[in-house]
Amino acid sequence: MSDWQKKPQKTAPASTPIQLLGLDQVPFVGETFKVKNTLEEAKDSAQTKKAIEQQKRRHQEIISPRDGQKILNIILKADTIGTLEAVRQALEAIDQEKVMLRILDADVGHLTENDLKLAVSARAEIFGFKIKTANQLLNIARREKVKIRVSDIIYELIQAVRESMVGLLDPQINKKSLGRLEILAVFKNTGDKRIVGGRVVEGLIQNGARFDISRAGEYIGPGQINQLQQNKQDTKEVGRGKECGLAVKSAAEIQLGDILEVYQEEKKQQTL
């Protein structure tokens, strides 16, 4: 053991910078040293500590996702081992029912070229806490379309991960009912193109809206209105009690007396 001037020292009081020789491995930044009474006690403590840290820093196991479950691969970087584990523990608390969070690597230190290579090959995003990234690596990241998010606040970093997870989810599509139309005439049934006439019996119908075909209460198939006319003039919508002509697209054949259940699709972003 030596001081900052490389002079040998037997003891070192608090806040004294020192250099140590003889370690088998390079310790992580932020590691603490504890003095033991005997060499055997120190070895036992080191083995226990090593097992715990290896378990913490293990690479995420490759787990097959459930049907419909998305996967977000990420790489974690932090300034100290303490903050790295704090971030990891916070991430593990996120609900992963819809999106599996797979931590490919978690390490202390600034971003490296190897981190970028792993991110490219695994299509992973990089999240860092109080780290720096060289401009050269940022240019590579932009070229390879690797997302890098760095924050000095753990909460913001966790929120960034959550946002990336939510971004993988397909929007939830809800049907907003507009109205119902009864088919009074069928002028053309060719391929998936249909020209029909009908009366709006409930609500209103709009050009471009989607519909479900109902026959005697039974679902027949979906379709979409491509053109809507009233009194032989194009119109955007037709209200209750009015008759109109429609050019629609539907793989299902439309018959007299069918009911078109007209609706709009509303997309809503899912949550975790």
Dihedral sign of CA atoms 158, 160, 162, 164 in order: negative
Mean pLDDT, rounded, for 3-22: 82
* pLDDT score, position 175: 92
Residue ranges making up the domain that contains 120: 70-167
Cα–Cα distance for residue pair 105/109, rounded to 1 Å: 12
Give the H/E segment covering residue 163.
helix 154-167
pLDDT tier for residue 208 given thresholds of 50, 70 and 90: very high
76 within some domain: yes
Dihedral sign of CA atoms 202, 203, 207, 211 in order: negative
187 within some domain: yes
21 within some domain: no
* pLDDT score, position 59: 46
* pLDDT score, position 6: 82
Quote the mean pLDDT of the chain.
89
The tens digit of pLDDT for each residue in 152-161 reads 999 999 999 9
Residue 203 has a CB neighbour count (10 Å cut-off) of 16
* pLDDT score, position 30: 53
25 or 108: whose pLDDT is higher? 108
18 within some domain: no
Cα–Cα distance for residue pair 199/239, rounded to 1 Å: 9
What's at 48, amino acid-wise? T
CATH of the domain at 159: 3.40.50.10050
Cα–Cα distance for residue pair 74/124, rounded to 1 Å: 5
**What value, to the nearest 5°, has the Cα angle with vertex 88 and ends 153 and 170?**
85
* pLDDT score, position 25: 62
pTM given for the model: 0.58
For 165, counting Cβ atoms within 10 Å of its Cβ (0-12 exposed, 13-18 middle, 19+ buried), the class is buried
pLDDT tier for residue 26 given thresholds of 50, 70 and 90: low
Query: In the chain, how many domains are there?
Result: 2
28: Cβ–Cβ under 8 A, 6 or more apart, which residues?
Answer: 53, 80, 81, 108
pLDDT tier for residue 53 given thresholds of 50, 70 and 90: low
CB 125 within 8 A of CB 147: yes
Cα–Cα distance for residue pair 170/89, rounded to 1 Å: 27
217 within some domain: yes
* pLDDT score, position 42: 81
The tens digit of pLDDT for each residue in 97-152 reads 999 999 999 999 999 999 999 999 999 999 999 999 999 999 999 999 999 999 99
125: Cβ–Cβ under 8 A, 6 or more apart, which residues?
Answer: 72, 73, 74, 75, 119, 146, 147, 148, 149, 164
The tens digit of pLDDT for each residue in 211-265 reads 999 999 999 999 999 999 999 999 999 999 999 999 999 999 999 999 999 999 9
203 within some domain: yes
92 within some domain: yes
- Between β-strands 125-129 and 70-78, what pairing exists: parallel, antiparallel or unpaired? parallel
